[in-house]
Structure 1
Amino acid sequence: MLRIGWRSSVAYRHMDGVSAASFAWQYVRRDEEYRRDFQNLKHSADASQLEAFSQRWGLRFPA
């Protein structure tokens, strides 16, 4: 198991140059509810489900 001191600013120095969108993606992709919703969406996606998913998770998809 990777052990990083979460209180240490040195442990997160690599995050200094990360965009807000990249930071948000790193956070949301680890969320169990997001992962479950995404798996459900992959199997039966229609326009209304995609809109609900993007609204819930604050995501935007290119056209």
Structure 2
Amino acid sequence: MRGNCAMSGADWRSESAYHQVKQAEAADMAWEWLRRDAEYQKDFRSWLRSKHSGATDHFRRKWGLTFSG
């Protein structure tokens, strides 16, 4: 499922909105959980506004994220 289409966030209470969850990998489930976390959302908005060079490393370490590239 990774890279194709994300699970819908429109109606997270609807079982039919998550018909692809059986094909989800652990990273997909972790992302769906994390992106709904209010503290993560607040931190992410703060990170977006940040102009500090070390902010990305701090953000990645705090949330256990890795970015390949």
Q: Tell me the TM-score normalised to structure 2 length.
A: 0.65
Task: Determine the C-alpha separation between the residues in 1 that align with 2:35 and 2:13.
Answer: 20
Which runs of no fewer than 5 residues in structure 1 stay unpaired? Answer: 6-11
Structure with the bigger percentage of helix = 1
> 1:16 and 2:27 equivalent?
no
Task: Determine the C-alpha separation between the residues in 2 that align with 1:39 and 1:2.
Answer: 22
RMSD of the TM alignment (CA)? Answer: 2.4
Give aligned pairs, total: 57
Q: Tell me the TM-score normalised to structure 1 length.
A: 0.70
* Higher RCO by CA contacts (8 Å cutoff, separation 6 or greater): 2
> 1:52 and 2:61 equivalent?
no
Identity %: 33
Q: Which runs of 4+ in 1 moved over 6 A?
A: none
Larger Rg: 1
Which runs of no fewer than 5 residues in structure 2 stay unpaired? Answer: 1-10
